[in-house]
Structure 1
Amino acid sequence: MNKAITDGIVFMPPAFVNGLDVWSSGDGTPGSDTYAASGSAAFVPADADFGGCLELQKTNATQKLRYMGQTPLLPGCYLQITARIKAVSGPLPSVRIAGWAGGAGDVHVAGLTEQGPAVALTNYGTVVEVSAIVGTGHRDGVDMPWGASALYGHFGLNLEGPNGGVVRVDDIRIEDVTSVFLRDMVGVVDVRDYGARGDGVTDDWAAFEAADNAANGRKVLVPEGTYFLGETTSMNSEIEFEGTVSMPTDKMLLLTKNFDLPTYIAAFGDEALAFRKAFQALINNSDHESLDMGGRKVSVSAPIDMQAAVPNRTSYATRRVIRNGQLDVKDSPAWDTDTFTSQASYDPNDPYKLTNVVNVANIPVGALVQGSGVGREIYVRSKNEGAAEITLSAPLHDAAGTQSFTFVDFKYLLDFKGFSSLQKFGMEDIEFQCNSRCSAIRLAPSGATFSLTNCFVSRPKDRGITSIGTGCQGMLIDGCQFLSAEESLTVPERASIALNANANDIKLRHNRATRFHHFAVLGGDNNMVLGNHFFQGDSVPNGTRSAGLVVIGTYTSSTIAENYVDNCYIEWTNEHDPSPDFTTGFSFSAMSITDNIFLSGEVAPWFSYIVIRPYGSGHFLNGLTVTGNKFRSINGYIDRAERVDTSHAGLDYNRCVHVVFEGNTYHGVSAKSANPLRLRHSQNTAAQTWVIDPGGELPFGAKARGCDSVMALDALRTGGEAIRYATPYALVQQGAQQDQIHLKWPEALKGTVSVIMRIDK
């Protein structure tokens, strides 16, 4: 780069032979005295060393020589002023290059260094060369860094020391030496050339903006140093950081050309800080819909409050994605779980509120609520300190009155709870390496379509993904691995949960989860759980197992299909019902469990793969499809594949409707349940009443409420072997358990029939 060549700018002042009327004895500004006819200076046409030169007698304490032309000082341009001088007679002075800085409106720019280093003349007739470099940037080798305010200079030299001496000065040269400071003369713009100091104190924002504006397709270079940026800084050019930047939390660094985490790490020098600032830019920059972590591993020593990283936003609803990296949790007391105990009151008529909460200010939003009558995965969604109220993520099933509640605040690697609403936010191809120190993700209290795709949630201490409200609406979890921190523990010792949801329309597809207490706790309707593999066993003989999938709610309208349910079970419950007794509605309805693989080993005989756990009386099955599943127990038989957990209440089998339980296969399972259930009954002794017993194979041990058909498979005979052509009628709900059907014949007969019976009508 040389502006004299590329732009035709004339830096070189005229030779002395052209006259001394443009050479000032002052600052060089218009109207200052010149050396023309001054009596102290004259042109010498034939000096032995210089040829034509200026002979000058020192008459002032500081004898100035300034070219009165305005030598332009351009951003990114560096000028070297050089003078050759020798002493002729009299006292020997010192000499230095000097100048006068002019700004807009031809006003002097004060506070700048306006002279170079002094050189003493020690001998007569010896030629000494003095020089200094002036430019906008504070760079090594620049004697006069003038920044962006100075637009031009009047340059020359100063003579200092005793008066009376005579010197001769060769023609002064001013040359563009910018190329000395540029490693790539065409492709790089250095922020120091536009006034950046890099001292960590001076606000270099304007210099960054100026360098970006001047780049025009070139790369902006940030050399070594710490550059404080006091305002939001937007860089539209490609940028390279050798130094780092610092800026207030509420100010943003917006990098549009190389918007990726490695660049932000280079910019801020701290991985966790860089991640926060890059997220801040992602939420505030319309030029990018995603942040690429570039495969980087980011070490994190404290929870990342994602909303605090973006203080100008409390909600967001435009699609944004973070992808391709790892967040690695380091040991720190910042991950320690906080536990609070407080008295509060609960009224089932206002089911989402705790009132009269003692010390409500101490209880964090997002804390897990525990207490008598509190179901699983209920969180503090919000609080009103003035009213001493807490809003819950779900109702309580049996907590009417006043009691002491426990609030457990897990710490999360990424915490979105500060957003009032967050929508269309996703994360792809990321490993959340929790290292048994913290949980992974806490969602915002509200929002829709959060997605996690092809990610690893590795060894979360307590939770993988937590929804504290409805921020899980339409959540998409696809192709992810959830790896428990509790693999070495037996099932009863485990407490961690891979994920929970409270809102509707959750899609869990093709994920894998290992040895959590639960894989998923789903509290909403219209869910699709497809193609997942979740397993939770241990090696304890006749061991207990926990639920892999917990579905909370009566009318669920959900599909559970093509999963591998390994050493755990599906639990269907209504523990978030504030008035659990059935009075109106659909009760346990609209559930489809289809084409799954159910496998267990070394479990207790009473273990089952599908468990319904009612809270409150009067509930019944009203639309359940269980078809095409493969039930297999190894290393020991189990009694049945499905059962009702009557710890709190049972089901009303007199009201079962629309239950389909067929096409399943059973291995290592004693009761091969089906509805409708087809039985072959052989009556060897003639009798007028035949007792058709299902042998426990009606689903859930329900009652025999219907008989679809009775077909004789051979001749019906009397006790005397006479063949009869007769038709029976059926009495349903017979026997002590009301699970038998009695066939009534016109007379005592014997033979074999095929009977189709069912638990619904």
Structure 2
Amino acid sequence: MNKAITEGLQLMPPAFSNGLNVWSSGDGTPGSDTYDGAANAVFVAADADFGGCLELQKTANTQKLRFMGQTPLEPGCYLQIKARVKAVSGALPSVRIAGWAAAGNGSHIGGVDETAPQVALTTYGAVAEVTGIVGSGSRGGVDMPWGRDADYGHFGLDLTGANGGVVRIDDIEITDITSAFLRDMLSLVDVTDYGAVGDGSTDCTAAFEAADAAADGRRILVPAGEFRLDSTVSLNHEAVFEGTVSMPDSQMLLLTKNFDFPAYAAAFGTEELGFKKAFQALINNADHESLDLKGRKITVTGPIDMQAAAPNKSSYATRRVIRNGQLEAASNAAWDTEVVTSQATYSVSDSKKLTNVANIANIAVGSLVDGAGVGREIYVKSKNTGAGELTLSAALYDADGTQNFTFRNFKYLVDFSGFSALSKFGMEGIEFQCNGRCSAVRLAPAGSVNAFDSCFFSRPKDRGITSTGTGCQGILVDNCQFLSNEDGEDVPDRVSIGLNVNANDAKLRSNRATRFRHFALLAGGSNTVTGNHFFQGDSIANGVRTAGLVLASNNCTSTVSDNYIDNCFIEWTNERDPTPDFTGGFSFSALSVTANVFLSGDVAPWFSYIVVKPYGSGHFLNGLSVTGNKFRSLNGNIDRAERVDTSFSDLDFSRSKNVDFSGNMYHNVSVQTANPLRIRHDQSSASTSWPVRAEGLLPFQGFARYVDSVVPLGALKSSGNSTRYIVPYTETQQGPDNDEIRLRWGEAVKGEVQVIMRMDS
């Protein structure tokens, strides 16, 4: 590209034969002295080497020769000034190309190099060629980088050294050699052409912005070097990084035209920092709803505090997504769990507070709380160090008084807990490679409708997804794989949990989880758990099993359907109730368990697939539907598919309501329960009182409270075998276990009847 041709710029100075009145002995600025009529300068018309040339005697310490015309400069344009010189007589001087840098208003630009390297003349009559290159950018081969503010220059040469010598100078040439510097002038704009300096300390913010403004659809090149940006820079053209940038954590680089992780990794030189700055840009730029990792794996050396990566945001609620890549935990001590044991006091009157907490400064917000009477997955939601108080994510069921609590602060690959609230944030197609070193994701303490889709949670040390507050409201977890780090551990030794939810409206759909202690703990209501496969067995014969799904709210209003529940069970508790005894409300209610496949093998006979565990007395079933499920035990029978864990208390079966336990299939399950329950009773001897026993076939060994129908199967006979046409009345909740009814007849009869009885009203 030659700007003298394409843009009509006049670069070449006039020949000396045209007169010396445009050649200055000073800087070349208007009003400076010229060589026209000067005693030490004369035009020589014929020279054996040059033809017409200027003969000049050196009379000043620095003898200047400057063209007084304004040779234009533009960012991205590089000019070469060339002169041929020979010594004629007298002292031999040195010669160099030189110029005077001018801004658009004609003022001098100081602080820039205005001379090229000098060449010593050593022999009379020998022609020496001197050159110098001037341009806006500090690039290799550029002798005089003048920056983007230079508008024009006065160019020529200097004679230095001893005075008195006479030299002859051929006509000076100025040419555009931009093409020697730009590999593809039509598609790249180099930030160094606009004054950027890759020394790691000079603030290049203005240069980057100027390059972006001039790009006009071309790409922006950041060449080799480290370029400091002290302020936020938004580039509206695609940027190519051969070098790197550095900037304060609080400032942003917004790559609006190539917003993806590889661009940020190249820009900042490291994958981890590039990921943080890309996330910062994601939630500070309206142009992009997602950050694509482009399939790259990012090695993470320590927990990523996502809020610290975007320090100008304390909360966020606009849809954003990170997708398509891997985050891998490096092997180092940054992932070690912080454990603090401290004495504190708990009172039911303020059920989500610990008070008088010793050593509170060392307890991290987000720590798991363990102690007597503490339910599962209770976390420190916030703390007031001055008051010595911790706010918990949920109430404790039996911890009144003062005791020692243990606080475990797990470390997470991605930690959103620094945000006060985060909503509508998604991660899609991300693999969290925890490698048994750390947990995967900790949510913000508040927020809603955050989503994980098609993600892999690979070998988390402690947790896959942790909610320490209500940031899990409406969470969507779909098509994800939760792969345990405890595959080789026996069930009782496992401690890791796939995820926990404290708030309502969780959706767990089409996920797969392997050998965690629990796949999920859901403590809110209105949950949907469907299409998942979670399994937790081991190789121990007659081994114990842990719950795959824990529902930690008795009025859970949840649906569990179409899952494959393998060597684990559903556990339904009220362990977050500060007054666990029933005093009012709906008790254990509003749960639908439908069309699931339940499978177990090599388990103890007392194992069951559905377990209700009341933490206090007086609770009852008040809405439970278990329909269309398949219960199957391998390598031995189990006693029954459902049971009550009476570690703390039993259910009050005299109050059971709305229990539907029907249409289920049982294989190798000894007691195959149903409600309504159909019983055939054969009375071989005539009697006025027939006992009809449920034989434990009512769900959870409930009471026989109602009879829907009594249908004789054949004739009723008297003791003399005469047919009788009579109807009985019923007495319910009979026998030592309240699980039989009595049919009372007007006279003694015998025969066979079908009875449909119920445990509920």
Q: Which moved more, 1:450-459 or 1:747-756?
A: 747-756
Is the 8 Å Cα contact of residues 104 and 152 (structure 2) preserved in structure 1? no
> Does the aligned pair in 1 maintain the 2:500–2:521 contact within 8 Å?
yes
Q: Which residue of 1 aligns with 2:601?
A: 601
Aligned partners of 1:73 and 1:105: how far apart in 2?
14
Deviates more, 1:513-522 or 1:385-394: 385-394
What letter is aligned with 2:422? L
- The CA distance in 2 between the partners of 1:531 and 1:61, in whole Å, is 91
Q: Which runs of 5+ in 2 are unaligned?
A: none
| Contact 2:581/2:618, CA 8 A, preserved across alignment | yes
Q: Tell me the equivalent position of 1:688.
A: 688
1:142 aligns with 2:142: yes
Percent of aligned pairs sharing the same letter: 67
| 1:640-679 to 2 correspondences below 5 Å | 640-679=640-679
Find the counterpart in structure 2 of residue 84 from structure 1: 84
Task: State the match for 1:508 in structure 2.
Answer: 508
Please give the alpha-carbon distance, in whole angstroms, between the structure 2 residues aligned to 1:299 and 1:565: 34
Q: C-alpha distance in 2, partners of 1:702/1:196?
A: 81
Aligned to 2:378: 378
Which structure 2 residues correspond to residues 368-517 of structure 1 after superposition, within 5 A? 368-517=368-517
In structure 1, what residue type is equivalent to 2:57?
Q
Separation in structure 2 between the aligned mates of residue 289 and residue 175 of structure 1, nearest angstrom: 48
Q: Find the aligned partners of 1:107 and 1:526 in 2 and give their Cα distance.
A: 74
Deviations 1:442-483 (A, max 9, x none): 000000011000000000000000000000000000000000
1:58 aligns to what? 58
Q: Which residue of 2 aligns with 1:589?
A: 589
How far, CA to CA, are the matches of 1:6 and 1:646 in structure 2?
91
Deviation by residue 1:243-270 (Cα, 9 ceiling, x = unmatched): 1111111111110010000111111111
Deviations 1:306-339 (A, max 9, x none): 0000111110010000000000111110000010
Distance in 1 (alpha carbons) for counterparts of 2:633 and 2:680: 25
Distance 1:701 1:5 in 2: 98
Find the aligned partners of 1:8 and 1:352 in 2 and give their Cα distance.
Answer: 78
**Residues of 2 paired with 1:714 and 1:9: CA distance?**
117
Matches within 5 A, 1:491-570: 491-570=491-570
* 1:756 is aligned to 2:756: yes
Aligned-partner SS, 2:472: strand
Which residue does the alignment assign to 2:227? 227
Q: Please list, as runs of the form range in 1=range in 2, the aligned pairs for 1:8-27 lying within 5 A after superposition.
A: 8-27=8-27
Give the CA deviation at 1:689.
1.3
Aligned-residue offset at 1:281 = 0.5
Q: Does 1:745 align with 2:745?
A: yes
Q: Which residue of 2 aligns with 1:735?
A: 735
How is 1:162-241 mapped onto 2 (pairs within 5 angstroms)?
162-241=162-241
Q: Which residue of 2 aligns with 1:260?
A: 260
Structure 2: how far apart are the matches of 1:231 and 1:321? 26
Q: Report the CA distance between 1:271 and its aligned residue.
A: 0.9
> In the TM superposition, what is the alpha-carbon distance from 1:151 to its structure 2 partner?
2.3
Paired residue type of 2:32: S
Secondary structure at the counterpart of residue 307 of structure 1: helix
Partner of 1:159: 159
Alpha-carbon shift at residue 409 of structure 1 (Å): 0.5
Structure-1 residue corresponding to 2:126:
126
TM-superposed CA distance for 1:150, in Å, is: 2.4
Alpha-carbon distance in 2 for matches of 1:294, 1:111: 44
> Per-residue CA shift, 1:717-753, capped at 9, x if unaligned?
1222211111111110000000001111122211111
Specify the SS of the correspondent of 2:46.
strand
Aligned counterparts of 2:641 and 2:573: Cα–Cα separation in 1: 17
1:159, distance to aligned residue in structure 2 (A)? 0.8
- 1:328-362 deviations in Å (ceiling 9; x for gaps): 11111000001011111111121111111112211
The alpha carbon displacement at 1:287 in A equals 0.6
1:294 alignment partner in structure 2: 294
1:339 aligns with 2:339: yes
Across the aligned residues of Structure 1 and Structure 2, the Cα RMSD in angstroms comes to 1.0
SS in 2 for 1:757: strand
Distance of 1:185 and 1:135 partners within structure 2: 15
CA distance in 2, matches of 1:755, 1:171: 122
Counterpart of 1:103 in structure 2 is 103
Once residues 411 and 525 of structure 1 are traced to their aligned partners in structure 2, the CA distance between those partners, rounded to angstroms, is 28
Distance 2:48 2:237 in 1: 53
Aligned counterparts of 1:303 and 1:386: Cα–Cα separation in 2 = 27
C-alpha distance after superposition, 1:613-639 (max 9, x if no partner): 001111101011000000000101000
Match of 1:631? 631
Alpha-carbon offset, residue 103 of structure 1: 2.2
Q: CA deviation at 1:118?
A: 1.1
Distance 2:637 2:292 in 1: 51
Contact 2:688 2:744 survives alignment (8 Å): yes
The TM-score normalised by the length of structure 2 is: 0.99
* Contact 2:191-2:211 within 8 A present in 1 as well: yes
In 2, Cα distance between the equivalents of 1:488 and 1:575? 29
Stretches of structure 1 that go unaligned for 5 or more consecutive residues are: none
Question: Which deviations, in whole Å up to 9, do the C-alpha atoms of 1:499-554 show, x marking residues without a partner?
Answer: 00000000000000000000000010100001100000011111000000000112
CA displacement at 1:292 relative to structure 2: 0.2
Amino acid of the structure 2 residue aligned with 1:712: P
Q: Aligned-pair distance for 1:104?
A: 4.4
Does the 8 Å CA contact 2:272/2:298 hold for their aligned counterparts? yes
Instruction: Say which SS state the counterpart of residue 273 (structure 2) adopts.
Output: helix
Which AA in structure 1 matches 2:273? L
Write out per-residue CA displacement over residues 257-312 of structure 1, whole angstroms, 9 at most, x where no aligned residue. 10000111111111111110100010111110000000000001100000000111
Distance 1:749 1:638 in 2: 38
Letter matched to residue 31 of structure 1: G
Could you tell me which residue of structure 1 aligns to residue 284 of structure 2?
A: 284
